[in-house]
């Protein structure tokens, strides 16, 4: 299959000449005259590389378009070109993620070499991602919402420090992924990253699991065992669900955090450990402190740098890229394509996701395994979504009234209506707008506001 190049230039003559050059060299080409058209082509035609002009009056210009491409399709390499660029433009383009900057007038050799190199980079990155997933490395933080951008920026500021971090968020939001990202971006990134699920530790074995034990320390201790603090020495210890620790375990954890010294059960000589602690919880620890269920001094020790992960229902624009990510992962595991039709993803975006990203991953995997054809339809999605998937906060018929946020509930209902219209229209936005008795421009505006990506043509 020939590599597909998206040519973005406001001059038709440039598009024609460069297109002819690329087609004669075996490339497939698609064209766009401005940045807005380019973004539609990114969705509809899934190019392998983009050749993007800097100056495209009246706008958006090439740099603004590049920024949008990096958000919508971060894996697609972009080669910039311009006849009026200065050094500042080239520097900014590089910072925004451009692979290369070509000066006009273009030379055939320069264009071909730049595009081939960019394609090779894209293939290398895709292979690297595939190998990481096969090796079981942590998933990347997927999402294009403002909340995810803020989360990434906060991780980048927090990671280089040695301070303790407390990650909060509902179950299934990806707290361990955030902890792993902090570890990887820190100076300890090539050292151990050790995880402890505090909720899964038996009460009578917490001390042994955390700090280790000597042989004969208690019945069943047939050999010496290192604890998690010792295993994480020089690296990072992630204490998941730390709010589930009992009072005795909280006291012992506090002593280690204050002194940096660990003593194995049955041991005689304490020893120092150099560990950065990252904790996480889905509970309100401040309330637990007020109720006497969690030590206030331990909470202060853990909560040096707080990070909160918003629930998936608060960032519905992340659902489409997450579906793509999980579909690619399932395709690699199953050895066959996993794709969704135009109406399927908006239908997923209309669901409230009480189980957050973990629930979405499970649903995508279930759909992939049960699929009888290459394309997963909106009807198949509707069959597997739980029956409690009504817009968040909406009381079911017969239930007593409970307070709800009117704007959030209306937004969720509007997402569901748009998703159903797109499904009925098989992804045709103009037809969906007709069915909703509005015009296409208004529907696009509403979709942007609600975080609904334009439907893809069976190539998700």
Flag whether pLDDT at 140 surpasses 90. no
Q: What are phi and psi of 8, to 5 degrees?
A: -120, 105
Flag whether pLDDT at 292 surpasses 70. yes
Strand residue runs (E) in 351-450 = 375-376
The SS3 call for residue 407 is helix
**Span 238-262, mean pLDDT?**
90
Q: Quote the pLDDT of residue 393.
A: 45
Flag whether pLDDT at 225 surpasses 50. yes
Q: Quote the pLDDT of residue 398.
A: 45
Residue showing tokens 């690296």: 235
Q: Quote the pLDDT of residue 221.
A: 67
The SS3 call for residue 196 is strand
CA distance 350 to 75: 26
For the ranges 153-162, 172-181, 188-197, 223-232, the lowest mean pLDDT is seen at 223-232
CA distance 455 to 341: 8
CATH 3.40.50.300 maps onto the chain at 146-310
The SS3 call for residue 67 is helix
The answer to whether the peptide bond before residue 6 is cis (omega within 30 degrees of 0) is no
Q: Quote the pLDDT of residue 392.
A: 44
CA distance 274 to 149: 31
Q: Quote the pLDDT of residue 403.
A: 61
User: Two tokens at 164?
Assistant: 């303790």
Q: Quote the pLDDT of residue 448.
A: 80
Residue showing tokens 């208690």: 218
Q: How far is C-alpha 194 from the geometric centre of its chain's CA atoms?
A: 22
Q: Quote the pLDDT of residue 457.
A: 46
- Range with top average pLDDT, 170-179, 369-378, 414-423: 170-179
Q: How many helices, marked H, and strands, marked E, lie in the chain? A: 19, 16
CATH 3.40.50.2300 maps onto the chain at 4-134
The SS3 call for residue 5 is strand
CA distance 349 to 258: 45
**Span 309-320, mean pLDDT?**
92
The answer to whether the peptide bond before residue 60 is cis (omega within 30 degrees of 0) is yes
- Burial (CB count within 10 angstroms: exposed 0-12, middle 13-18, buried 19+), residue 151: buried
- Range with top average pLDDT, 165-179, 249-263, 387-401: 165-179
Contact criterion met (CB below 8 Å) for 342 and 195: no
**Span 153-169, mean pLDDT?**
93
Q: Which residues pair with 205 in a beta bridge?
A: none
Contact criterion met (CB below 8 Å) for 418 and 378: no
CA distance 380 to 93: 42
Q: Quote the pLDDT of residue 70.
A: 80
Q: Quote the pLDDT of residue 125.
A: 63
Flag whether pLDDT at 143 surpasses 70. yes
Contact criterion met (CB below 8 Å) for 66 and 79: no
- Range with top average pLDDT, 13-17, 101-105, 376-380, 428-432: 13-17
User: Two tokens at 244?
Assistant: 């589930």
Flag whether pLDDT at 324 surpasses 50. yes
- What confidence tens digit (pLDDT) does each residue in 384-416 have? 887 654 444 444 444 455 566 667 667 777 877
CA distance 101 to 94: 8
- Burial (CB count within 10 angstroms: exposed 0-12, middle 13-18, buried 19+), residue 200: exposed
In 3D space, the residue among 320, 309, 313, 312 whose CA is nearest the CA of residue 391 turns out to be 313
Topology of domain 4-134, per CATH? Answer: Rossmann fold (3.40.50)
How many CB atoms are located within 10 Å of the residue 146 CB?
11
More confident call, 219 vs 69: 69
**Span 257-267, mean pLDDT?**
85
Q: Which residues pair with 30 in a beta bridge?
A: 6
Q: Quote the pLDDT of residue 85.
A: 67
At 264, is the pLDDT very low, low, confident or very high (cuts 50, 70, 90)? confident
User: Two tokens at 254?
Assistant: 């506090």
Mean pLDDT of the chain: 84
Q: Quote the pLDDT of residue 137.
A: 45
Q: Quote the pLDDT of residue 131.
A: 53
How many CB atoms are located within 10 Å of the residue 67 CB?
16
Flag whether pLDDT at 74 surpasses 80. no
Q: Which residues pair with 213 in a beta bridge?
A: 225, 265
At 352, is the pLDDT very low, low, confident or very high (cuts 50, 70, 90)? confident
- What confidence tens digit (pLDDT) does each residue in 325-345 have? 999 989 988 888 899 987 788
More confident call, 17 vs 206: 17
**With DSSP H G I counted as helix, E B as strand and the rest as coil, what are the percentages for the chain, rounded to 5?**
50, 15, 40
Global pTM reads 0.59
**Span 58-71, mean pLDDT?**
86
DSSP 9: -
Q: Quote the pLDDT of residue 29.
A: 95
**Span 127-156, mean pLDDT?**
73
Q: Which residues contact 166 (CB under 8 A, 6 or more apart)?
A: 278, 279, 280, 281, 285, 302, 303, 304, 305, 306, 307
CA distance 208 to 204: 8
Q: Quote the pLDDT of residue 262.
A: 86
CATH number of the structural domain 146-310: 3.40.50.300
Contact criterion met (CB below 8 Å) for 329 and 368: no
**Span 245-271, mean pLDDT?**
86
More confident call, 269 vs 179: 179
Contact criterion met (CB below 8 Å) for 422 and 431: no
314-450 sits in which CATH class?
A: mainly alpha
Q: Give the pairing of strands 225-226 and 212-213.
A: antiparallel
**Span 133-144, mean pLDDT?**
63
CA distance 406 to 423: 26
Contact criterion met (CB below 8 Å) for 73 and 42: yes
Q: Quote the pLDDT of residue 87.
A: 77
CATH 1.10.8.60 maps onto the chain at 314-450
At 111, is the pLDDT very low, low, confident or very high (cuts 50, 70, 90)? very high
**Span 79-105, mean pLDDT?**
83
Q: Quote the pLDDT of residue 222.
A: 66
More confident call, 310 vs 428: 310
Q: Which residues pair with 72 in a beta bridge?
A: none
Q: Quote the pLDDT of residue 407.
A: 72
């Amino acid at each position: 299959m020939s590599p597909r190049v998206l040519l973005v230039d406001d001059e038709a003559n440039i598009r024609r000449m460069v297109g002819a050059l690329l087609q004669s060299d075996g490339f497939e080409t698609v064209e766009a005259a401005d940045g807005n058209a380019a973004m539609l082509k990114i969705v509809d035609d899934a190019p392998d590389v983009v050749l993007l002009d800097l100056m495209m009056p009246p706008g958006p210009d090439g740099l603004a378009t590049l920024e949008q491409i990096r958000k919508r399709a971060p894996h697609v390499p972009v080669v910039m070109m311009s006849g009026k660029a200065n050094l500042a433009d080239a520097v900014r383009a590089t910072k925004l993620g451009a692979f290369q900057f070509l000066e006009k007038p273009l030379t055939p050799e320069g264009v071909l070499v730049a595009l081939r190199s960019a394609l090779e980079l894209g293939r290398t990155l895709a292979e690297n991602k595939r190998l990481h997933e096969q090796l079981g490395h942590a998933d990347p933080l997927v999402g294009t919402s403002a909340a995810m951008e803020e989360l990434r920026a906060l991780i980048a500021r927090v990671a280089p420090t040695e301070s303790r971090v407390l990650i909060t968020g509902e179950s299934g939001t990806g707290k361990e992924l955030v902890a792993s990202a902090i570890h990887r971006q820190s100076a300890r990134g090539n050292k151990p990253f050790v995880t402890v699920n505090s909720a899964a530790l038996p009460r009578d074995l917490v001390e042994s699991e955390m700090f280790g034990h000597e042989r004969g320390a208690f019945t069943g201790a047939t050999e010496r065992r290192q604890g998690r603090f010792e295993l994480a020495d020089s690296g990072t210890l992630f204490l998941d669900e730390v709010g589930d620790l009992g009072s005795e375990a909280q006291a012992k954890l506090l002593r280690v955090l204050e002194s940096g010294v660990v003593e194995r059960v049955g041991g005689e000589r304490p020893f120092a450990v150099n560990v950065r602690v990252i904790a996480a919880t889905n509970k309100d620890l401040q309330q637990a402190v007020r109720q006497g269920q969690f030590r206030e001094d331990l909470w202060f020790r853990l909560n040096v740098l707080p990070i909160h992960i918003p629930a998936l229902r608060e960032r519905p624009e992340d659902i489409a890229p997450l579906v793509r990510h999980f579909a690619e992962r399932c395709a690699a595991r199953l050895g066959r394509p996993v794709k969704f039709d135009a109406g399927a993803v908006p239908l997923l975006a209309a669901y409230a996701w009480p189980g957050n990203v973990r629930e979405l991953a499970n649903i995508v995997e279930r759909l992939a395994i049960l699929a009888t054809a290459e394309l997963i339809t909106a009807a198949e999605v509707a069959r597997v979504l739980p029956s409690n998937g009504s817009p968040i906060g909406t009381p079911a018929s017969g239930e007593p009234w409970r307070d709800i946020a009117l704007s959030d509930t209306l937004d969720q209902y509007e997402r569901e209506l748009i998703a159903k219209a797109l499904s009925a229209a098989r992804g045709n936005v103009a037809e969906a707008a007709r069915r909703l008795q509005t015009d296409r421009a208004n529907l696009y505006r509403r979709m942007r506001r609600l975080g609904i990506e334009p439907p893809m043509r069976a190539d998700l």
